[in-house]
């Protein structure tokens, strides 16, 4: 299934392809039990179709036990996504999460691609760094924030005074991004070995020139081989592969 979106997302199970004016994305999300859980995914496009924002978040707990908190956080995220700066979004969400308490502890990664400047903006709240691959390069690598000597970029609901950063890098046609939650790299084999970041990076390197849809399906297939399961019951598992559109092929949103 493919959709053109201005705002889309949620906490439900999904296996879908999404196109905006700036990027093509393919997203997968599966709750550990039931049809929704503690992982959150969010896509939005500004009114001028120039700025695409994408969020992946992981609420403490999983499956039905985390569903109510993740539903609250998704609504709060939706209400705050009119802010341009991802660090401001995280500060606001952190204040709201601290009002709820420890059960709202959440990690999150926010990225935005701005078509006018060909730049990718990124902010984290205690989340694994997103992975990127430049067009023409062979390998993927982590997109890290600069180190700071203060309480910063920590999970939501840990410290009400925490600060959050936003950085940006040049990003252009053919460049790719991969966002994921713990459920992917912590997926266990029958003997307890985690899927792991090294196995994920090797897989992405092998399929780095493929479409976001192909990358997603290769990751799903690798997870199923590793866990010997068709559905993943160890944790909520969410990931999305994203590629910047060639300008000549950017679709108009409806």
108 beta partners: 57, 126
What are the C-alpha distances in Å from 183 to residues 50, 58, 62, 196, 239?
32, 9, 9, 10, 9
Looking at 84-230, list the stretches that DSSP marks H as alpha helix, in order from N- to C-terminal side: 86-100, 182-185, 197-206, 212-227
Q: What is the pLDDT of residue 50?
A: 82
Report the SS3 class of residue 21.
Answer: coil
Q: What is the pLDDT of residue 247?
A: 58
What is the rounded distance in angstroms from the CA atom of residue 67 to the CA atom of residue 33? 10
pLDDT along the chain (254 residues), means of 10: 72 92 92 91 84 93 88 89 84 93 94 91 95 94 77 89 93 95 96 96 95 97 94 92 73 38
Q: What is the pLDDT of residue 94?
A: 95
Q: What is the pLDDT of residue 250?
A: 44
Q: What is the pLDDT of residue 246?
A: 66
Q: What is the pLDDT of residue 129?
A: 94
**At 28, phi and psi to the nearest 5?**
-135, 135
Q: What is the pLDDT of residue 4?
A: 63
Cβ–Cβ under 8 Å, residues 140 and 133: yes
Q: What is the pLDDT of residue 23?
A: 92
Q: What is the pLDDT of residue 147?
A: 67
């Amino acid at each position: 299934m493919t959709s053109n979106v201005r705002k889309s997302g949620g906490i439900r199970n999904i296996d879908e392809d999404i196109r905006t004016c700036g990027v093509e994305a393919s997203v997968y999300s599966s709750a550990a039990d039931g049809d929704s859980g503690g992982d959150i995914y969010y896509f939005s496009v500004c009114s001028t179709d120039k700025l695409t924002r994408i969020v992946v978040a992981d609420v403490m707990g999983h499956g039905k036990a985390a569903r109510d908190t993740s539903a609250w956080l998704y609504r709060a995220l939706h209400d705050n996504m009119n802010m341009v700066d991802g660090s401001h979004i995280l500060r606001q969400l952190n204040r709201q999460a601290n009002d709820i308490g420890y059960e709202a502890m959440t990690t999150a990664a926010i990225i935005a691609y701005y078509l006018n400047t060909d730049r990718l903006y990124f902010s984290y709240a205690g989340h694994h760094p997103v992975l990127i691959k430049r067009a023409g390069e062979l390998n993927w690598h982590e997109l890290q924030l600069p180190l700071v000597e203060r309480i910063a970029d920590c999970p939501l609901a840990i410290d009400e005074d925490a600060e959050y950063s936003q950085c940006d890098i040049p990003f252009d046609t053919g460049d790719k991004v991969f966002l994921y939650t713990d459920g992917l790299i912590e997926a266990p084999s029958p003997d307890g070995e985690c899927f792991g970041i090294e196995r994920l990076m090797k897989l992405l390197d092998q399929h780095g020139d493929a479409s976001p849809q192909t990358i997603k399906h290769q990751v799903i297939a690798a997870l199923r081989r590793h866990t010997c399961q068709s559905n993943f019951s160890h944790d909520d598992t969410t990931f999305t592969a994203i590629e910047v559109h060639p300008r000549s092929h950017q679709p108009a949103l409806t």
